[in-house]
């Protein structure tokens, strides 16, 4: 029997750093500074550094991970 996940998957090590770098590369300005996209405030963070209280990766509008994962958990 195939087991299903019971909670949100967690990235660690190299996978976490690769994910952070990918998100950072998509959001960093051409001048190399990461800014909050709505108000332009500088975000003092680089991949590999702690994110708590500094940067939140959030989700795209209309594609909430929670909703998708709940559907996955309850498929029989």
> What's the pLDDT tens digit per position in 39-69?
999 999 999 999 888 887 776 666 666 777 7
Question: Is residue 39 assigned to a domain?
Answer: yes
Question: Is residue 60 assigned to a domain?
Answer: yes
The answer for residues whose C-beta is within 8 angstroms of residue 19's C-beta and 6 or more apart is 11
Question: Is residue 56 assigned to a domain?
Answer: yes
Q: Is pLDDT above 70 for 6?
A: no
Cα–Cα distance for residue pair 69/42, rounded to 1 Å:
32
Residue 68 domain boundaries: 24-73
Place of tokens 């559907």: 71
Q: What is the mean pLDDT of residues 24-50?
A: 92
Q: In percent, how much of the chain has pLDDT > 90?
A: 37
DSSP structural state of residue 7: S
Tell me the pTM: 0.62
Q: Which tops the pLDDT comparison, 62 or 26?
A: 26
Q: Is pLDDT above 90 for 22?
A: yes
The answer for residues whose C-beta is within 8 angstroms of residue 21's C-beta and 6 or more apart is 47
Question: Is residue 3 assigned to a domain?
Answer: no
Structural domain count, the chain: 1
Question: Is residue 43 assigned to a domain?
Answer: yes
């Amino acid at each position: 029997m195939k087991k299903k996940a019971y909670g949100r998957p967690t990235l660690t090590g190299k996978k976490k750093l690769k994910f952070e770098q990918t998100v950072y590369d998509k959001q960093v300005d051409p001048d190399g500074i990461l800014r909050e996209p709505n108000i332009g405030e500088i975000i003092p963070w680089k991949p590999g550094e702690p994110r708590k209280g500094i940067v939140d990766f959030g989700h795209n509008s209309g594609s909430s991970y929670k909703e998708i994962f709940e559907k996955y958990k309850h498929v029989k």
